[in-house]
Chains A and B, each alone.
Chain A
Amino acid sequence: MISEAGLARFAREVAKYPADQKQSAVMACLAVVQQELGHVGVESEKLVADYLGMAPIAVHEVTTFYNMYNQRPLGKYKLNVCTNLPCQLRDGTKALRHLEHKLGITMGQTTADGMFTLQQSECLGACADAPVLLVNDRTMCSFMGNEKLDQLVDGLMAAGVAP
């Protein structure tokens, strides 16, 4: 279920568009869903479809087209490491390998304790900050050499369940 605050954010997004074009808010509403629930499932798509007056399949098309929507539950922290060429030239791939080694998983997998999902990502738009990674869609971490990657992972582990 989406919280009252989440529904208020839906309304705020819908208000940006003409009254007969509520569908324009679909990406923002799905992002709100993902922030609250961690992923976008079929029930959530149905909820957003009803809210915006869309066919559920039209919402599903959006969820499946855009890279950042999680179509299944992931770890508590989704780490997206950019390995595109500008980052590759500045140790982006090394950062991904280091995290694989540290977390004991390969990219695309989630740690057994459900804390981390590690993914390779395409250009995050922070090429001069390489190596970069995006945590849970909203927080970009820059200049992530191995030492800082260790600090990040160890810090988040220590923070435990607190969001």
Chain B
Amino acid sequence: MMASQILAQFQATGVETCFHDRHISPQIYAGLDGSNWRLKDYQARGGYAALRKMLAADGAPGLTPDQVIATVKESALRGRGGAGFPTGLKWSFMPRQFPGQKYLVCNSDEGEPGTCKDRDILQFNPHIVIEGMVIAAYAMGISVGYNYIHGEIFKTYDRFEEALEEARAAGLLGDAILGSAFNFQLHAVHGFGAYICGEETALLESLEGKKGQPRFKPPFPASFGMYGKPTTINNTETFAAVPWIIRNGGAAYLACGKPNNGGTKIYSVSGDVEKPGNYEVPMGTPFARLLEIAGGVRSGRQLKAVIPGGSSAPILPAAVMMDCTMDYDSIAKAGSMLGSGAVIVLDDSRCMVKSLQRLSYFYMHESCGQCTPCREGTGWLSRMVDRVENGQGRASDMDLLNSVADNIQGRTICALGDAAAMPVRAMIKHFRHEFEYHVEHKICMVPAYV
């Protein structure tokens, strides 16, 4: 066999992560089977109907840009990349009468550990992102856009390029879209391995062909973005939510979720569950229900803790988590954040020190080196957690870890510093006794964990 044939045997098909029929009222993943990603399939599912409605290509009067933004505001769609900022409000920040070029950017640089939802959107339903971006571009009067795709998912990048070609050939992208006066050029771009480029201003630097080092904010991208021009950046899943909202109305989308948290959300459930995968469920779904559809805790073990929003989100003990519903407000109230929707599940065989050791190493590795508190602090944190894990910790290390974390958080240009500090503080807050056990006994409480 050829090497390419051998490699092909091991590629994911999406059956486990996406086509499992355990979503609840899905909008973005609805009706997907892995082979129906092409334009004709998307149109058969009602795709591009929102674009036709907006551009009056279906005989109706069409929508003005203001009407599109008002609809998105009404939907209570919040940014799916991690910050949860209201999307309609973000769109309204773009200057309307700006004389020069403006840009639209899709952040598909999905690298937050635990998160793999955008990959399945782009791989199995790429046109929903294209349609969402065209609608957004129209609403903000933008004529050029880029979709920056995580460098490690190259097949997905190729797939998106192919979908773009289909959309261009069908007059859904490019000049005079659907015969209207609206033009929008959209291009695919890939990263090449840098977690920091998921930060929006680092992503802009990367798009400009530079090292991905974040910029000071303000100025925000809406006034000084790509090439210094007004730019709006949204996450892949955010754009993918837009066609449904335009087709069915903002009120209908809001009604799918709960107040202030409209629509459905895709959760990437990983770690100690029977069926890891992506699950699209309405906002406000109880965590217990999400855990149930992911097959429950693996091997009948007990739930110990959950990181509810990607590796940067503070960990929550099982009892707290089981009382949460999965939406921005409930998780924030419990002391963590919904983040990107990556739910990392840990069972009762897991050592918290060892888990934190791997995360702290990650933040040290991915710090861009620009700000001293982060560059030096992430290394310091990593080395300290390392020595506690290896039985060389000191009784004062927990307080020192907290102190270093305190001196990183809020003192850096971007949120990577906070992202490195928050897991440390939360682990010590909730599981201090495990750290103390390591220091005192020089071994782990749960030694079976490899």
Q: Is the CB of A125 within 8 A of B270?
A: no
Stretch of B23-31, B36-44, B81-89, B204-212 lying at the A interface: B204-212
Contact with A along B334-369 (1 / 0, CB 8 A): 000000001011100010000100110010011010
Q: Does B154 touch A at the CB level, under 8 Å?
A: yes
Q: Does B110 touch A at the CB level, under 8 Å?
A: yes
Q: Does B177 touch A at the CB level, under 8 Å?
A: no
Q: Is the CB of B358 within 8 A of A84?
A: yes
Contacts of B366 in A (CB 8 A): 122
Q: Is the CB of B6 within 8 A of A152?
A: yes
Residues in A56-114 with C-beta less than 8 Å from chain B? 58, 61-62, 65-69, 77, 83-86, 88-90, 93-94
Measured in the bound complex, the distance between the Cα atoms of B268 and A90 in whole Å is 14
Number of chain B residues whose Cβ lies closer than 8 Å to a Cβ of chain A: 68
Smallest beta-carbon distance A121→chain B, Å: 8
Contact with A along B260-297 (1 / 0, CB 8 A): 00000000111110001110000000000000000000
Given contacts A24-B207, A28-B190, A31-B190, contact A125 B3 (CB under 8 A): no
Given contacts A127-B116, A127-B270, A128-B277, contact A162 B152 (CB under 8 A): no
Contacts of B10 in A (CB 8 A): 141-144, 148, 152
Measured in the bound complex, the distance between the Cα atoms of B2 and A158 in whole Å is 9
Contacts of B211 in A (CB 8 A): 61-62, 65
Smallest beta-carbon distance A159→chain B, Å: 4
Measured in the bound complex, the distance between the Cα atoms of B211 and A30 in whole Å is 13
Q: Is the CB of A66 within 8 A of B111?
A: no
Smallest beta-carbon distance A80→chain B, Å: 8
Q: Is the CB of B3 within 8 A of A85?
A: no
Contacts of A77 in B (CB 8 A): 3
Measured in the bound complex, the distance between the Cα atoms of B288 and A156 in whole Å is 43
Contacts of B187 in A (CB 8 A): 16
Stretch of B49-57, B166-174, B191-199 lying at the A interface: B191-199
Measured in the bound complex, the distance between the Cα atoms of B32 and A158 in whole Å is 36
Q: Is the CB of B195 within 8 A of A122?
A: yes
Q: Is the CB of B344 within 8 A of A86?
A: yes
Measured in the bound complex, the distance between the Cα atoms of B307 and A144 in whole Å is 24
Q: Does A124 touch B at the CB level, under 8 Å?
A: yes
Contacts of B345 in A (CB 8 A): 89
Stretch of B11-19, B377-385, B405-413, B432-440 lying at the A interface: B11-19
Q: Is the CB of A68 within 8 A of B192?
A: yes
Q: Which residue of A lies closest to B153 (CB)?
A: A125
Smallest beta-carbon distance A96→chain B, Å: 11
Measured in the bound complex, the distance between the Cα atoms of B1 and A163 in whole Å is 11
Measured in the bound complex, the distance between the Cα atoms of B208 and A18 in whole Å is 11
Q: Which residue of B lies closest to A138 (CB)?
A: B154
Q: Is the CB of B270 within 8 A of A27?
A: no
Measured in the bound complex, the distance between the Cα atoms of B279 and A128 in whole Å is 11
Q: Is the CB of B110 within 8 A of A69?
A: no
A127's partner among B113, B208, B210, B272 (CB-CB below 8 A) is: B113
Given contacts A84-B311, A128-B270, A148-B10, contact A123 B208 (CB under 8 A): no
Q: Does A47 touch B at the CB level, under 8 Å?
A: no
Contacts of A21 in B (CB 8 A): 208-209, 227
Q: Which residue of A lies closest to B307 (CB)?
A: A85
Q: Is the CB of A16 within 8 A of B193?
A: no
Contact with B along A22-66 (1 / 0, CB 8 A): 011111101100000000000000000000101000100110011
A138's partner among B113, B155, B307 (CB-CB below 8 A) is: B155
Q: Does B7 touch A at the CB level, under 8 Å?
A: yes
Contact with B along A130-147 (1 / 0, CB 8 A): 100011011111111000
Contacts of B278 in A (CB 8 A): 128
Contacts of A152 in B (CB 8 A): 6-7, 10
| Most chain A beta-carbon contacts within 10 A, residue among B10, B112, B272, B277 | B10
Q: Does A11 touch B at the CB level, under 8 Å?
A: no
Q: Does B450 touch A at the CB level, under 8 Å?
A: yes
Residues in B40-91 with C-beta less than 8 Å from chain A? none
Q: Is the CB of A125 within 8 A of B115?
A: yes
Contacts of B190 in A (CB 8 A): 27-28, 31
Contacts of B153 in A (CB 8 A): 124-126, 140
Smallest beta-carbon distance B100→chain A, Å: 11
Q: Is the CB of A127 within 8 A of B276?
A: yes
Residues in B136-163 with C-beta less than 8 Å from chain A? 146, 150-155
Measured in the bound complex, the distance between the Cα atoms of B191 and A123 in whole Å is 13
Given contacts A23-B209, A89-B272, A159-B2, contact A123 B113 (CB under 8 A): yes
Q: Is the CB of A125 within 8 A of B116?
A: yes
Q: Is the CB of B16 within 8 A of A68?
A: no
Q: Is the CB of A85 within 8 A of B276?
A: no
Measured in the bound complex, the distance between the Cα atoms of B10 and A135 in whole Å is 11
| Most chain B beta-carbon contacts within 10 A, residue among A125, A135, A163 | A125
Smallest beta-carbon distance B186→chain A, Å: 10
Q: Which 4 A-B pairs have the closest CB atoms?
A: A67-B193, A23-B209, A68-B193, A141-B10
Known: A31-B192, A127-B270. 15 other contacts (CB 8 A): A18-B101, A23-B209, A24-B207, A58-B209, A61-B210, A85-B362, A89-B272, A89-B355, A122-B195, A123-B195, A123-B362, A127-B114, A137-B151, A139-B155, A162-B2
A selection of 17 A-B contacts at a CB cut-off of 8 Å is: A24-B207, A24-B209, A67-B193, A68-B152, A85-B271, A85-B344, A85-B359, A89-B344, A89-B346, A125-B118, A126-B119, A128-B278, A129-B17, A140-B152, A144-B10, A159-B1, A162-B3
